[in-house]
Structure 1
Amino acid sequence: MKKFLIIISNVIIFALASILLSRSQKSGDFMLKLFYSIALVKAGFNITKALKIE
């Protein structure tokens, strides 16, 4: 159950960061884009790590 919650929370983080990153492309701060990109990469690594635990 814990692995499932980790995967779901990281998928939600991944989705939110990608939506916010796509919105900030038009008029965004560089640091904001960098933060969202780091959040995307971190969530992706967490998802793959949680899947490998199984």
Structure 2
Amino acid sequence: MSDNPVHLTAGQIANAEELLAGKKIEIATLRQQLIDGENIENAEASIELECSGIW
């Protein structure tokens, strides 16, 4: 790896921070969708087990 310093402008840093914040929101949203999907699957499996005991 090179030892040459990298020079960034304040605008470039602000843009990178904005992109990072957006990605964090996107990740949080996807994580919640995954959790919600798992909760729905677990609820459906529980209902199936309860119904199989009835029949």
TM-score of the aligned structures, taking structure 2 as reference length: 0.48
Q: Which has the higher relative contact order, 1 or 2, with Cα contacts under 8 A spaced 6 or more apart?
A: 1
Structure whose alpha-carbon radius of gyration is higher = 2
TM-score of the aligned structures, taking structure 1 as reference length: 0.49
